[in-house]
Amino acid sequence: MQNITIAVSEAGSAQTRTFEYKVTLDGEVVSERRLSPVQTSQVREMAMQYLSLLQGGGSIPGAKSYLPILGAGLFHLFLESGWQGFASKILTGGVGRLIINSSIPEVLGRVLKSLNWYPKCHYSSTTK
């Protein structure tokens, strides 16, 4: 079983702060990218939407059906750009865990856990 780690950090000045990330598969960097300011804002907005759903205690109508939409958006931002290059490595080796490594509050492991792009994954998150 393989481990996928998404390590997210901040880059840029205070006025143009963006997220950059590395995707590693068992320690091998398979994708690396800096999000644009617009994409970084999208991640922050998704985190706020997720927190809003949590505050409703899951009782907000349609909350559970909204999680796959958030997951798809996060997949697009963090994994899609390099997916063709490393997907075959993941699918042939089987995924053990998806690890989110970030000290940034907006990069919520729980939000990224909603990816559900590979049903056999076990998820955990860490901070630096």
Q: What DSSP string describes the chain?
A: -EEEEEEEEEES-STT-EEEEEEEETTEEEEEEE--HHHHHHHHHHHHHHHHHHHTTT-STTHHHHHHHHHHHHHHHHTHHHHHHHHHHHHHH-EEEEEEE---TTS-HHHHHTT-SSTT-EEEEE--
Whose tokens are 């990330």? That residue is: 21
pTM over 0.85? The answer is: no
Quote the pLDDT of residue 115.
Answer: 53
Which of 1.20.120, 3.30.1330, 3.10.450, 3.30.420 is the CATH number of 2-126?
3.30.420
- Cβ neighbourhood burial of 59 (10 Å; 0-12, 13-18, 19+): exposed
Amino acid in the structure at residue 112: L
Q: What is the pLDDT at residue 15? A: 80
Query: What's residue 33's pLDDT?
Result: 92
pLDDT in tens, the chain (128 residues): 778 888 888 888 878 889 999 989 888 898 899 999 999 888 888 888 777 776 766 566 666 777 778 778 888 888 888 888 877 777 665 666 777 788 776 665 555 555 555 444 444 455 54
Residue 32 is predicted with a pLDDT of 92
**What's residue 122's pLDDT?**
44
Which residue shows structure tokens 């950090």? 9
